[in-house]
Amino acid sequence: MSISHTLYALIFALPFLFPLSADAHSCSEGFLIEINKTKSINQYCRKKTLGAEFGWNFNIKSRRLDIAFGARLDAETGWLAWGLNPLGRQMVGTRALIGIKQHSGSLEWHKYNVTELTKRGCQFLPSDDIGINVSDFSFVYLEKLEYYAILATIFLPFEYNFSRINVVWQIGDAAAGSEPLMHANSLRNFDTAETVDLVSEKIVSYSAHYQRHLRTMMALRLKPKFNDKYRAYWNMYHHFLGYALLALISVNMFEGIKILRPAHAWKWAYIGVLGVLGAVAMALEVFTWTKFLLYRNSIG
């Protein structure tokens, strides 16, 4: 059936044809107003995952980058991190600015080099030199919004290409003094890096996990308008779309499992469940087709 092939192709091609169409997340009005007050940041502003908002001004000539990165910190202690990574969209290698809300309510802020050791849970302490020139760095509470925000001015070194800069962020709710402790291990906490064009405001590339999520969402949103003449095709389309989505979701889950790295047993449990579901689907499919063919033969 050529139409189902066409639809298949369409489902998988669409996200690649319009990879940036989900890129319409401008900041909340409250945040825009507050950061314009606090640091006169009014050029660019974008909503990010983990409920964060990121505003910045950038001057190409001077390479001066003013940033405001805000989010709620709902637990009693917590930390908010924002950084640039010359190596890629990843945690390791990030030159990070981190603000910490202590149990006592006091705020502190420091610069950190995020390394492979940090990822492995070794001691994570501030460093004076993170390889970028940071000034006017502070961590403030925006009372009206109940947001905490990192404010800073960076003179972007020439080895950073401002039209494709890797921005990384994270939120955690535990700290020991000036050492931020491990963030939550949910998938949301891995959708926290992207490549941004500082001047056009375009997101050049999302995190790998977010891209997969986007692809699933795009497939779900695809609803062509057929008239009655194409009812049969429409049904067939739905039929195959269902299977395509199941396949996509299964792959996404495996990717999620890979990212979160749980105990080995989980993966096998998941494979078992998928296998059983596959067998049930197959049996139902055979049943449906047999019934359909028998019915057609009996009236034809």
Ligand X SMILES: *[C@@H]1O[C@H](CO)[C@@H](O)[C@H](O)[C@H]1NC(C)=O
State the residues that interact with ligand X by CB under 6 A. Answer: 32, 36, 42, 113, 127, 129-131, 133, 155, 161, 163-164
Closest CB 61 distance from ligand X, rounded Å: 12
B/e letters for 237-247, b = 16+ CB within 10 Å, e = fewer, are beebbeebeee
Closest CB 39 distance from ligand X, rounded Å: 10
Closest CB 88 distance from ligand X, rounded Å: 14
Q: Name which of 103 and 119 has its Cβ closer to ligand X.
A: 119
Encoded tokens for 211: 């891209």
Q: Name which of 73 and 91 has its Cβ closer to ligand X.
A: 91
Q: CA 67 → CA 34, 46, 64, 213, distances in Å?
A: 13, 12, 10, 28
Q: Taking the C-alpha atoms of 88, 90, 92 and 95 in order, what is their torsion angle to the nearest 10 degrees?
A: 70
Closest CB 153 distance from ligand X, rounded Å: 9
Closest CB 137 distance from ligand X, rounded Å: 12
Q: Name which of 131 and 272 has its Cβ closer to ligand X.
A: 131
C-alpha closest to that of 145 among 237, 262, 31: 31
Question: What residue type is 16 in one-letter code?
Answer: F
Q: CA 278 → CA 83, 264, 271, distances in Å?
A: 43, 22, 10
Q: Name which of 70 and 78 has its Cβ closer to ligand X.
A: 70
Q: Which residues pair with 46 in a beta bridge?
A: 26, 54
Q: Name which of 144 and 164 has its Cβ closer to ligand X.
A: 164
Q: Can you tell me whether residue 66 is helix, strand or coil?
A: strand
End-to-end CA distance of the chain: 22
The residue number whose beta carbon is nearest to ligand X equals 131
Closest CB 20 distance from ligand X, rounded Å: 14
Q: Name which of 126 and 262 has its Cβ closer to ligand X.
A: 126
Closest CB 251 distance from ligand X, rounded Å: 29
Q: Name which of 78 and 180 has its Cβ closer to ligand X.
A: 180
Phi, psi of 296 (to 5 degrees): -65, -45
Distance of CA 130 to the CA centre of its chain: 25
Closest CB 130 distance from ligand X, rounded Å: 5
Phi, psi of 170 (to 5 degrees): -165, 155
Q: Name which of 36 and 59 has its Cβ closer to ligand X.
A: 36
Q: CA 11 → CA 216, 217, 261, distances in Å?
A: 9, 11, 29
193 with 167: CB under 8 angstroms?
Answer: yes
Radius of gyration of the chain (CA): 24
